[in-house]
Chains A and B, each alone.
Chain A
Amino acid sequence: MTNLSMPKINRKTISKKNIIVKSLKKIIDPQNVIDHKDELKPYETDGLSAYKQKPLVVVMPKNTREVSKILSYCNEEKIKVVPRGAGTGLSGGALPLADCVLLSLGKFNKILEIDYKNRCVVTQPGVTNLSITQAVQDNNFYYAPDPSSQIACSIGGNVAENSGGVHSLKYGTTTNNLLGVEVVFMDGSISRLGSKALDAEGYDLLGLITGSEGLLCVITEVTVKILKKPQTIKAAIIGFPTIENGGKCVSEIISNGIIPAGMEMMDKALIHATDNFVKAGYPRDAESMLIVELDGTETDVSESMERVNTIAKKNKATSIKISKNEKERLKFWAGRKAAFPACGDLAPDYYCMDGTIPRGKLAEVLKEITRLSKKYNLQVANAFHAGDGNLHPLIMYDSNDKKSLAKTEKFGAEILKYCVKVGGVLTGEHGVGIEKRELMCEMFNNNDIQQQVKIKKALDTSNLLNPGKVYPILRKCAEEGRVHVHGGKTKFPNIPRF
């Protein structure tokens, strides 16, 4: 278990717990203030379950006014606040602090308005990502960003983390599909950023708070764009004799002017693991496999699929299977979406990394991962959002063996550093949180980080909102950065991941 330094605990806050609880019970319905240690347990961790810490108290406000009053009170009393959506995040962004008020937005669970005329949905932040699409699908609309945990993750959390999904290359991430938010700052002030209009004038505050991991404000309302469903969606699974062939095929598809709705790649280890798990009909003899999904009009899809077919053959594809119907298309995806639980069958534990690399560097990076895998004598399986360059290596290990854990940590850090070295970034969609905090200096120099810290200070003078996340505390680059899964179980083992 990794030792991670967190902001210094304010003993005065701990000693005042009773007074704080009493005050909070005056601000909101006392039933919505949780302070008994048994009841605090469900809040001690998020999707990054290696780290656990019970908060001082949990509050569950029901409306924006209550959020404002809570923050205003905490700001005056200098009490730390950690906001929490559904708690499915994989980088520890909602990890509580011993001296914090954990602000859960679980009661903000209603869709407020469906506005087809302006093609948007106004919702409270606790609503799940998937339920937005479910609310509009009868009219053939949908909300584009689809993180694999979409049945459980909340839209407010998606905004805080700027969540992606498998369709990011064509449809963008949360930030590109967001029109407006209502937020509360640490001093209790309420502000509306953006609206139902496409642009917002002045500084792009909406862009700034999207992906700010709960450090700048608490989101209390969200307005997202909805899109008309494409006429046709088809997927193909293509097997390749080498990883290089698969990687080259990805680059050539893009170079040929085709932008697939989704393009996923898996290596042999993961093809076998997932195919064993869900019997998706994957090519078990292939060294790498691509799922290419195309959408648009019937003509667009069949024309582009024909071209994908030609490019794949040119790159020595050993098998090409195109979905004949919606059922088959979903079956193709079922294996990919089960990557997380499938790996749970391979080893007692695994770490999941989340770097993004330029697509063209895939073969090089995978080669390096294979080399490191041999060097550390640890098995690794690779899932890759090939369309947008987001790589998820899963390192298998056994946490009961202390040496194995230490080796895994070194292995993981080397992968992430290599991602940055080839022109990529530390995290594509899981966020920095506590997990990659000390690795930030791999990408940014002191000036870059200080500018970001100054923005934080400008909006949260006393550094009370979600402190200890995103920015390095240690001022040195520790070798961390992965999702820890013990006994094949995450905090939410049934939620599809990545």
Chain B
Amino acid sequence: MFTEEKQNFLTFQDSDSLVPETEKEVADIIKKFYKSNASLEVVGSGSKRTIGKPLQCEKTMILSKLDGIIEYIPAELYIKVKAGTKMDKIINELKKNKQHLSFEPIDFGYLFLGKSNCGTAGGQVACNLSGPRRFKSGAIRDNILGFRGVNGRGEIIKSGGTVVKNVTGYDLSKLICGSYGTLAAITEVTFKVLPSAKETRTLVIHNLKIDSAPDYLAKAISSSCDVSGASFLPTDPICNNCEMNIENTFKLNDLKKEGSITAIRVEGTKKSVEERIENLKIILNVYRNDNLSILATLQSEIFWKKIKDLEFFSETKNNIFRIVIPPAECGNLIYELPEKFKYFLDWGGALIWMEACELSEQKFESIRKRVVKHGGFISMIKNSNHLPYVEDVFTINNSRFNISQSIKKSFDPKRILNPEKMYTGI
């Protein structure tokens, strides 16, 4: 039977937690809670536990003991793992065969703990927060082929398979991505994997401003150069209360210290990446520019890892939020936001990460209004002592809320799995 033990590791404060070791035990626990109408917090290893609204559940179920790679066939381009398997274990296994997860899983440890804490496969799926290659290779939801899990009635359910082309029944694998454990406790995940590139190069244009940088990113992505990373890290605004510091974060030999960074990545064979960097210089009309840095494979990999893992926010005590908008809107939106907040652009401008000191809920809501007007959404990722709670962590409108409520009911009619974590009433 599953263990019921005192836990106090990482961010867990609960006096007692349930730690099932098999899928059947997960089902038994949920069945028991379903019968007694008690609520249950579901977590992987807890690395992203603080995202979403705080829960008041009877107990916490930790899935980290559902650990292990079930099946990995490199030639079939998939890996099937138990949901509690740590991401670094998966990534290292894939590396042995020169393969990777193309959505670039984010290690949120740097943001929340100041050091690596990569979390579990189930946690990645539940949060669906993808790394810099997202605009080219898709989100986590595009890279999941199938899953198994236990719904709020304690029934084991599955969807999908191990193949990329599959239209058999509703695509529930997508639905559980980004559902923060509110629909089912995920017990098994099959990811699509792809070959890693041999080489990578990053072209950095220095000293651009927000009024022109997004155009450079858009031009690069809209070219035939097969760009796989496109970020902009400004040096302004300057705010002494914010942690974000580009110069301290990116101490790389070949990276000039010449102000803001507009970074464009290409990946492939040596000859191909070198050719594409030269093409990009022509397309972006910067081939006569002295203010360029070129990062070769080793430094380029370090650079994008730091971008992906939000290392420049490491140990910040401020609020961190995330904005996703149509890429062409990012320049205009930045002008409308409070001048003081530090930020950077990823996904060619389609993603903005922002650090906000002295944020109030009212101010956050006024930012949300602007973001929604531009066709995007905003989510609070990290709270601060200053603003430890916001009522609406995620963005939703009435129509989608009503549909989501119906969907929740079909999986978890008594609302016992992570109730209220995403939205009040869900």
Contacts and interface: CB of A to CB of B under 8 A. Distances in A.
Nearest to B99: A257
A133 interface: no
A356 B331 CA distance: 44
B324 A204 contact: no
A271 B236 CA distance: 63
A207 B400 contact: no
A199 B377 CA distance: 9
B240 to A, nearest CB: 32
5 contacts: A118-B329, A175-B142, A205-B404, A230-B226, A357-B163
A117 interface: yes
Given A176-B138, A259-B194, A389-B165, A118 B327 contact: yes
B221 A201 contact: no
Given A197-B326, A205-B400, A452 B376 contact: no
B360 interface: no
A206 B175 CA distance: 9
Contact residues on A (Cβ < 8 Å of other chain), bracket = 35 or more
Contacts of A360: 73, 75-76
A204 B163 contact: no
Nearest to B401: A202
Residue among A161, A202, A203, A216 with most chain B CB within 10 A: A203
Contact of B375 (A195, A204, A207): A195
A297 B161 contact: no
A257 B195 contact: yes
Nearest to A91: B167
Interface string A278-313: 000000000000000000110110010000000000
B92 interface: no
B98 A257 contact: yes
User: Main secondary structure on chain A at its contact with chain B?
Assistant: loop
Interface of A: 115-119, 140, 161-162, 164, 168-169, 172-173, 175-176, 185, 189-193, 195-208, 210-212, 216, 228-231, 251-252, 254-255, 257-259, 296-297, 299-300, 303, 356-360, 385, 388-390, 423-432, 436, 440, 443-444, 447-452, 454-455, 457-459, 470
Nearest to A298: B275
Interface of B: 73-77, 98, 128, 130, 134-135, 138-139, 141-142, 151, 155-159, 161-172, 174-175, 177-179, 183, 194-196, 198, 218, 221-226, 268-269, 271-272, 275-276, 279, 324-329, 347, 350-351, 375-377, 379, 394-396, 399-400, 402-404, 406-411, 422-423
Given A203-B178, A358-B76, A359-B75, A197 B350 contact: yes
A428 B167 contact: yes
Contact of A358 (B163, B194, B218, B224): B163
A385 B329 CA distance: 39
B347 A300 contact: no
Contacts of B325: 197
A354 B272 CA distance: 37
Contacts of A426: 168
A51 B204 CA distance: 60
B400 A191 contact: yes
Nearest to B406: A458
Contacts of A203: 175, 178-179, 183, 403-404, 407-408
B216 to A, nearest CB: 13
Nearest to B138: A176
Contacts of A423: 161-162
Given A168-B164, A196-B375, A197-B324, A452 B169 contact: yes
